[in-house]
Structure 1
Amino acid sequence: MRLPPLPADQWDDQVQHALSGLLPRDRRNPAGAGNALATLVRHPDLTKAYSSLGVHLLFRSTLPARARELAILRVAHRRGCAYEWAHHVEMAGESGVTAADIAAAQGGTPTEEFDRVIFAATDELETTSNLSDSTWVALGAHLDERQCMDLVFTVGNYAMLAMAFNTFGVEVEQTER
């Protein structure tokens, strides 16, 4: 771990302010925030600046939740991001993603055409930072313009987060059983 979560005794007003748009007051602490946010708040200004985009993509996006989670899982798999993968497998299940869908995100073949389009778009964006005309048209058969835009930003955002989490060494929280 290159950057551990910010210790509780360093959670000052600036950190609290940085998390104000992301978390309720009772979760603005190292345990409640989780390792990712508790690490990101080492740079409160960056965390605050990033939070608007992150909140939009995760909670206000026009992209259907299931499609969003499939794209995120594909990015997490391709980037080898254990933190992103662990958290979004859980969220994906809450969005109707099945175990077979999750296996497909790891390189299997999706059964649904729309899922194949989401994975193709994610793979193209990850590989070339662009979409082919045929993939753009295929997305347009399922998504409107804003949803396509939200997909592109979702893939880019979670690729960036995977890069940060992997570089900083953000560890998946240990859960008590």
Structure 2
Amino acid sequence: MLTPLPAEDWDDHAREALAGTVPLERRNADDVGNALATLVRHPELAGRFLPFNTYLQKSSRLPGRIRELVILRTAHHHGCGYEWGHHAVIARRLGLADEDLIAAQSGFAADEFDQVVLHAVDELHSGSRICPATWTALGERLDDQQRMDLMFTVGGYGTLALALNTFDVQLEADAGNEELYTEMGS
């Protein structure tokens, strides 16, 4: 649907949209990746959305492991191979095992708290809210700000998945392992 912005069309507006998200030396068509190179087709929107997305990825109060479970479950719900491919790699760097990635797809985790987290994502996806019992169960390990970050991570990455899927953004050949996602059946 939309391809990454060609190198010859990059201008100061496209590069400026990535400020605060991408180091200066990578703000170009060859080094930024397909998702960001596509989003900069609308520099004003990208310049406003990407700082929020960067907050969710790098500054959120959610523990990294929980954040990646949330993102992976959200990617699974949306069938977003691009998100899955990149975040499976990040999740593994944070110590998540194949069993955790399988849980993010199936919705069934061996760890009791991971199960609560996956259930919260499912509730947000299917009913647009976390029910009081799940909110309370999340509160056993997460404070109010972390639970808020969890909700906004589902929303932010859900929005990104909608865009990536609609624009048909392709996972880079050297990026994450979409094969695992495909093999596990979605």
Superposed CA deviations along residues 75-121 of structure 1, whole A, max 9, x for unmatched, are: 11111001000000000011121110001111052111111011000
- CA shift, 1:21, in A, is 1.0
**Residue 47 of structure 1: how far off its partner (Å):** 0.4
What's the secondary structure of 1:33's corresponding residue?
A: coil
1:145 aligns with 2:132: no
Other-structure match for 1:71: 70
What is the match of residue 120 of structure 2? 121
Q: Match for 2:95: what amino acid?
A: G
Mapped to 2, the partners of 1:161 and 1:18 lie a distance apart of: 16
Tell me which residue corresponds to 1:26.
25
TM-score (norm 1): 0.96
3-state secondary structure, aligned to 1:118: helix
Distance of 1:165 and 1:100 partners within structure 2? 26
Q: Which amino acid aligns with 1:175?
A: D
Match of 2:154 in 1: 155
Letter in 1 for 2:68: E
Please name the residue that 2:181 is paired with: none
SS of alignment partner, residue 5 of structure 2: coil
Structure-1 separation of matches of 2:6 and 2:12: 14
1:35 Cα deviation after fit: 0.3
Is this contact kept in 1: 2:2–2:169, CA < 8 A? Answer: yes
The percentage of counterpart residues that share the same residue type is 50
1:3 and 2:2 aligned: yes
Letter in structure 2 aligned against 1:83: Y
Seen in structure 2, the aligned counterparts of structure 1 residues 139 and 85 have a Cα distance that, compared at 3 Å, is same
Aligned to 2:101: 102
How many residue pairs match? The answer is 175
**Structure 1 outlier segments of 4+, above 3 Å:** none
Where structure 1 has 5 or more consecutive residues not aligned to the other structure, the ranges are none
The one-letter code matched in structure 1 to 2:130 is L
Distance in 2 (alpha carbons) for counterparts of 1:71 and 1:153: 10
Q: Secondary structure of the residue that 1:30 maps to in structure 2?
A: coil
Cα distance in 2, alignment partners of residues 108 and 117 from structure 1: 10
Cα drift, residue 31 of structure 1 = 2.4
How far apart, in 2, do the equivalents of 1:108 and 1:166 lie? 21
Residue 80 of structure 2 corresponds to which residue in structure 1?
Answer: 81
Q: Match of 1:91? A: 90
Mapped partners of 1:108, 1:169: distance in 2: 25
Alpha-carbon RMSD: 1.1
